[in-house]
């Protein structure tokens, strides 16, 4: 397993768990990690991670809006 060290100043109200969750959510959003990989990185089950993604305004449906518009136009 790879290890990443991030120095967070004491004045920041961010826990290591919160930082891992934010990183996992962003990497899922940009398609760098699958849902399962991101959930594992954040330390949650897939179900729990899916529920938490809403707090970050990240859709669990990793589907580009351009594809959605094309689907609607082709319907």
Domain count, the chain: 1
Q: Residue 68 and residue 58: Cα distance in Å, rounded? A: 16
Summarize the confidence of residues 59-68 as an average pLDDT: 72
pLDDT tens, residue by residue, 8-58: 899 999 999 999 999 999 999 999 999 999 999 999 999 999 999 999 989
Residue 3 lies in a domain: no
For residue 62, pLDDT beyond 80: no
Residue 43 lies in a domain: yes
pLDDT at 59: 86
pLDDT at 48: 96
Residue 21 lies in a domain: yes
Report angle CA 75, 50, 71 to the nearest 5 degrees.
Answer: 10
Residue 11 lies in a domain: no
Domain span at 21: 16-74
Residue 37 lies in a domain: yes
Residue 4 lies in a domain: no
């Amino acid at each position: 397993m790879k290890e990443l060290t991030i120095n967070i100043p004491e004045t920041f109200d961010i826990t290591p768990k919160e930082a891992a969750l934010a990183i996992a959510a962003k990497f899922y959003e940009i398609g760098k990690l699958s849902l399962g990989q991101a959930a594992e990185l954040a330390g949650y089950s897939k179900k729990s991670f899916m529920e938490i993604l809403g707090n970050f305004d990240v859709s669990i449906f990793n589907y580009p809006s351009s594809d959605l518009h094309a689907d609607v136009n082709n319907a």
